[in-house]
Structures are given as structure tokens and as C-alpha cells.
Structure 1
Amino acid sequence: MRYYVAFYRGRGTMADRIVRHATRSPFSHCELIRTDVTPRRGDTVECISASGRDNGVRIKSITLEDPKWDIYAVPWAPDDAWDRAAAHLGQPYELWSMILSQLFNFRRHSRDRWFCSELIAHALGLNMPHAKSPGDLLRDIDDHTDTYKLVLSRMTATRRGAQDVDEDEDLTAAT
């Protein structure tokens, strides 16, 4: 299974506009996706998130309508990310602490209430999930993905170098 996060940029409701304005981001909501196939705009996928419209943490099938959603891969996500989010199913939504944390550096967390990006940041194992707006979460995902790709490329180069050394030793021993 692979993980993705879908970020909502649709016009939405007044609450969506308030979140975008308060967080200075084009995104007002996000959803964690776990799937075997790469999701595309227009697909209907099973998501987990905290939603004010759905009164809290829930799992829901959502159609990722174009151009309302942007989808980002999270190749470094821990295997148990979905389970970490699902452990909070049914807990209520927390809009105001997210808005206050963005406007006034409130940075408080209610252990039994969640907003979307906080829940997903928690599921992904990121630091200070309660301080993440959807835009902040995307920046962290991008940063971690860049680091992940850099580490993979260095590991691949190291393996190639070790294979080259082994091949050189085999040639030396054969002569």
C-alpha cells in the first residue's frame, strides 16, 4: 500500500475561505489516501481525515474532482499511518484551535479533537501536528519527500560503488 494526501482547493464554504485566509494557503482541507494504485483527479478513493462537514474523524469515499483537488505522494509514510489516524475515528472536529494557532501562534492541542492537517501530520509522524495547516502540511510533505529521494539516490550510488569494488576485486583475483 502507498500513501497520498489530497489537498482541497475548491471554492467551498465560508469556513473554507476562512481557513485559506487564516492560514495563507490555497488549501482549506486535506485527506489521507491509502491505495495500491496512484489516485488521479476524477477518481473516487477511500480517505481518512477530520472534517467539520462530517463532524469529526471519519473514513469516507471522495471523488477527487478536477480542479478542486491536488494529490501528492507520500513515499516515506510509515506503514501504520492509516491505523494511527483510524485510532481516532469518531472524535470531534476542531476548527477554532487551528484558526487560532495560525492567527495568534496559539499552538494548543486538544487530545480528543482534531482538524484535518493535524490528524494527517500525526498519522505521518510529523513533529507538532497541532501546528500544521493544510499548506504547512504540504510544505512538510515536500521537504520530507525531497530528503527521502536524496537518501534513496545516495543509497543507490553507494550500492553501485560497492558493486563496482566487488567487480574490481573479482577481476583482480582472476588475473
Structure 2
Amino acid sequence: MAVHLALYKGHGQVGNVFIRWWTGSIYSHCELVVDGVCYSSSVMDKGVRSKPVGFGAGEIDLRSQHWDLVDLRWADANRVVEYFAASDDDRYGWPSLILSQFLNLNRPVRHAQFCSEWCANALGLPNAPSYSPATLGQLCAWLASGRLAISQ
């Protein structure tokens, strides 16, 4: 199963506008996509949730005018799905978002995650609260490029 990072660049709501302004990025939200299902933590859904990819009610339309996709060939799809099962009851991470993104303390809050924190945790990346959608997208694009060789 393939894993993709979906980065939201659509207009969205006031919170999306604020996140784009705060981070200086075109991205305000992110999802991990595995086998036609989006996984993330969402303010609108009050926490960790999954939604199918599609065009109907309750589905996420990943058309390119609203989303950019990064192919994560290095990511483990089973890990993402297992992490979702383990964190499905987590609420949205307002405390972690404030501590990590606004106060730069990078402190996770148990059972509460914001979108890029959840995605980073599901991917097994270190210091998950430190990522915004933009910085997570940059890291994932860099990892996808294969530039991991250590120069000597």
C-alpha cells in the first residue's frame, strides 16, 4: 500500500487563513492517505479521524486545486493504520498546538494532537509537535527525493 502526504492549500476557513499567515506557507492542514482513506486530526471533526477520498458528503476531495500530494515511498502504510487505531479516540490538540507552534516549547499533550503532529507521529518521525503542515511537507519532500546520502 502506498502512503501519501496530502497538503491542503485551499482557502478553507478563518483558521486555515491564520495558519497560512503564521507559518508563511500556502499550506494549512495535512493528511496521510493510505489505500483511498485520509487519516489526520482535524479541528472540524474534533480530533483524530479517518475519511474516504471522494467527491461526496463526508469524503475528502483531493483534487490538485486544493491539495498537493507527496509520495512517501519510505513510509510504512501498516504503521499509519495501526497508529490510527491506537489514537482514534484522541481529541484535537489545541494544547499541543499552542505549546509547540506558538510558544515553541514542542511539548506533546497526551491524547490530543493537531494535524501535522499526528501525521509525524504516524510516520515515526522524531519531535512530532515541532512540525507545521509546511515543515512536515518540506521534510517529506526531501526524504522522498532520496537525498539521504552522507557526504564524506
Q: Normalization by structure 2: what TM-score? A: 0.84
Deviation at 1:92, TM superposition (A): 0.4
Larger radius of gyration: 1
Corresponding position: 1:118 with 2:117: yes
Decide which moves more: 61-70 or 11-20: 61-70
Q: Could you tell me whether the CA contact under 8 Å between 2:90 and 2:111 is conserved in 1?
A: yes
In structure 2, C-alpha distance between the alignment counterparts of 1:15 and 1:150, rounded to whole Å: 38
- Among 68, 72, 75, the alignment partner of 1:77 is 75
Unaligned segments of structure 1, at least 5 residues: 36-44, 152-175
Task: State the Cα deviation string for residues 19-59 of structure 1 (Å, max 9, x = none).
Answer: 11222221111111112xxxxxxxxx421100000010011
SS of aligned partner of 2:31:
strand
Deviation at 1:85, TM superposition (A): 2.8
SS of aligned partner of 1:31:
strand
How many residues matched? Answer: 142
Q: Which has the higher helix share?
A: 1
Deviation at 1:148, TM superposition (A): 6.7
- After TM superposition, list the pairs within 5 Å mapping 1:18-167 onto structure 2: 18-35=18-35, 45-61=36-52, 62-78=60-76, 79-95=78-94, 97-147=96-146
SS of aligned partner of 2:112:
coil
Q: Could you tell me whether the CA contact under 8 Å between 1:118 and 1:132 is conserved in 2?
A: yes
Identity %: 35
Name the Cα RMSD after superposition. 2.0
Q: Normalization by structure 1: what TM-score? A: 0.74
Task: State the Cα deviation string for residues 85-114 of structure 1 (Å, max 9, x = none).
Answer: 331002100135325523331211102101
